[in-house]
Structure 1
Amino acid sequence: MFHFNHFNFNVLNLEKSLQFYQEALGLHEVRRKEAEDGSFILVYLGDSNGDFTLELTWLRDRVEKYDLGDEEFHLAFVTDQYEEAYKKHKEMGVILFENPEMGIYFIGDPDGYWIEIIPV
């Protein structure tokens, strides 16, 4: 009866975030909604493999960094190119935490959100 549609991250610099998600994870814009008064922009990113999207919300009047609390929440991606992804993320300098015992690692986006990378 229900299925996932999207998850939201609020971002301070939309262009910087779009560049990060394209470069780090290969996500691309699937739709955009802009307020008529310019007060917000919503950009939905997809991976071409399903309907689930990541919504990036930019608010014109927001200038202070978002409080992410204890950063216990995260978004996770599975990849069949784990070693290549790890090398790329290492070169980008975005790896925040590695857990070799579990075979996973986490990267951080420009706003400090954590993203888990999992091998197939």
Structure 2
Amino acid sequence: MTNKMLHTCIRVQNLDKSMAFYTKALNLKETRRKDFPEHQFTLVYLAFEDGGYELELTYNYDKAEPYEIGDGYGHIAIGVDDLKASHAAHEAEGYNVTKLMGLPGTDPTYYFIKDPDGYKTEVIQN
């Protein structure tokens, strides 16, 4: 039997804002969408161009208040070929990003960017 990771689900309050963030800031592409208007929710799956592991955005139509992320949420992580250029581009676009960071005693190898709902994505140097 072979097991593999399929997707991570996050709940979003504004699907349009979230789609704009994940497609523009992180270069993910919509792979499929499932609308369930009779049950008042939509699922959108995003992945990189080469496919594989997906991010599922769950949008519930009637959610008026922001989701509470809580202190147990970790983060999503993606790898980039040029960390400094990616960081500079995200800053220039006005995204909520941290400074470049590294583990104690190491050069910077990552930073975090937040989506419209406050979820963090770690951007790591490949």
Please report the TM-score for the alignment, with normalisation by the length of structure 2.
Answer: 0.87
Local SS of the residue matching 1:98: coil
* Match status 1:70 vs 2:71: yes
User: In the alignment, which residue of structure 1 is the partner of 2:50?
Assistant: 49
User: In the alignment, which residue of structure 1 is the partner of 2:80?
Assistant: 79
- Contact 2:83–2:110 (8 Å) recurs in 1: no
- Figure out how many residues of one structure are paired with residues of the other and give that number: 120
- Contact 1:12–1:59 (8 Å) recurs in 2: yes
* Match status 1:18 vs 2:19: yes
Cα distance in 1, alignment partners of residues 112 and 78 from structure 2: 10
- Alpha-carbon displacement from aligned partner over 1:2-55 (angstroms, at most 9, x marks no partner): 101000110011011101111101111000000041600000001023311000
Cα distance in 1, alignment partners of residues 32 and 82 from structure 2: 27
User: In the alignment, which residue of structure 1 is the partner of 2:92?
Assistant: 91
* Match status 1:119 vs 2:125: yes
Unaligned 5+ segments in structure 1 are: none
- Of structures 1 and 2, the larger Rg is shown by 2
26-35 or 76-85, which deviates more: 76-85
Local SS of the residue matching 2:57: strand
- Contact 1:78–1:119 (8 Å) recurs in 2: yes
Local SS of the residue matching 1:85: helix
- Percent of counterpart pairs with the same letter? 38
- Contact 1:71–1:114 (8 Å) recurs in 2: no
- Contact 1:95–1:107 (8 Å) recurs in 2: yes
What root-mean-square deviation, in Å, do the aligned CA atoms of Structure 1 and Structure 2 show? 1.6
Counterpart of 1:64, as a letter, is E
- Contact 1:41–1:57 (8 Å) recurs in 2: yes
Cα distance in 1, alignment partners of residues 44 and 24 from structure 2: 16
Cα distance in 1, alignment partners of residues 101 and 123 from structure 2: 12
Unaligned 5+ segments in structure 2 are: 104-108
Q: Aligned-pair distance for 1:107?
A: 0.2
- Contact 1:13–1:58 (8 Å) recurs in 2: yes
Q: Aligned-pair distance for 1:94?
A: 2.2
User: In the alignment, which residue of structure 1 is the partner of 2:116?
Assistant: 110
